Amino acid sequence: MDTSHFSSGAGERPVTIARISQTHWLAVEDDREVGRGDAVRRPDGRMFVSVDAWQGAVFDRLAATMVADLPAPLYVVAGETDREVRAGWERAGFTTGRREREYAVPTDPRVTGLDAVRPPTAVTIVPAGEAREDPLRVLDRAIRDEVEATVGWRTMPAEVLPRPAGVTVVDPSKYAVAERSGRYVGLVRMALVPRRPRIGLIAVLAEERRQGVARALLAQALGSLHRSGAETAWAEVDESNAAAAALLEGVGARRTGVNVELVRR
């Protein structure tokens, strides 16, 4: 266990910052936990950190210890209105890297207007759980390569899940796909979290865009959620991704907040 000792200030009890594992830290005062820090590596390889502490001084000490213990770059996500949290990370040397809108998306096709949507000619939507793994993984890799060659995969939302090195599709049952002539050309990933189902990603190969494939995938995903009893789904979109924002807002999605991603390089 790696530890660092600090004084809380004149007349206050000393606080001990202890690294209890490779990704967890505790702040202890008189054998009482007064804060904790955590780190998690996301599927795209980025390391995200967080601190839970009531006192600003404890927050600062945990953040400083984590920054010293972990290799850069490090990332943090905070709500746009969480000014104190953002200020704490800025004191630790973090700066704003990107902003991401959060949306509440209705699932009822009579509300979204997707009840009459049909896939483009020669395109079939394969429902979640029925996609074949090998062509799904080929499509996922092709889409990732296209995104990385343009805006960068860092602009895409990512579920925080442990994954073996190089594996980017852990649970194929979460994906519905668009298929043309036996080839997968688009996908939508859903996280069926109770009470908060989430549209994790909608992506279409560059050569297949602007033909209605993404809209057909969204219709399938939302329709499936509606039939399962979910009235609302959630989604996040990078503010620079105008096409994705337009797709969601076009079906009545309501913006519920903005998350700010900070980075320390």
List, in order, residues 6 or more apart from 64 with CB less than 8 Å away.
92
Give the model's confidence band at 163: pLDDT under 50 very low, under 70 low, under 90 confident, else very high. low
User: What percentage of the chain exceeds 70 in pLDDT?
Assistant: 88
126-159: b (≥16 Cβ within 10 Å) or e: bebeebeeeebbebbeebeebbeeeeebbbbbbe
Give the other-Cβ count within 10 Å of 83's Cβ: 10
Amino acid residing at 11: G
Query: What angle is formed at CA 85 by the lines to CA 3 and CA 7, rounded to 5 degrees?
Result: 35
> Structure pTM?
0.75
DSSP secondary structure code for residue 115 in this structure: T
> In the chain, what are the domains?
2-100 (3.40.630.30), 102-257 (3.40.630.30)
Euclidean distance between CA atoms 35 and 18, whole angstroms: 10
Among 160-164, 167-171, 179-183, name the one with the lowest average pLDDT: 160-164
Identify the pLDDT of residue 83: 92
Answer yes or no: are the C-beta atoms of 105 and 77 closer than 8 Å.
no
Give the model's confidence band at 135: pLDDT under 50 very low, under 70 low, under 90 confident, else very high. very high
Among 5-14, 153-162, 225-234, name the one with the lowest average pLDDT: 5-14
Query: What angle is formed at CA 254 by the lines to CA 176 and CA 49, rounded to 5 degrees?
Result: 75
Give the model's confidence band at 196: pLDDT under 50 very low, under 70 low, under 90 confident, else very high. confident
Euclidean distance between CA atoms 58 and 37, whole angstroms: 10
Taking only the tens place, the pLDDT of each residue in 41-81 is 876 778 999 999 989 999 999 999 999 999 999 999 999 99
Residue 8 pLDDT more than 90?
A: no
Residue 2 pLDDT more than 60?
A: no
Residue 116 pLDDT more than 80?
A: yes
169-to-44, 140, 147, 175, 254 alpha-carbon distances in Å: 12, 8, 16, 9, 29
Identify the pLDDT of residue 3: 47
Residue where the block lists tokens 């609302």: 232
Euclidean distance between CA atoms 176 and 244, whole angstroms: 17
Give the model's confidence band at 182: pLDDT under 50 very low, under 70 low, under 90 confident, else very high. very high
Answer yes or no: are the C-beta atoms of 191 and 159 closer than 8 Å.
yes
Answer yes or no: are the C-beta atoms of 148 and 175 closer than 8 Å.
no
* Residue-wise DSSP of 153-180: GGGS--------TT---S-GGGEEEEEE
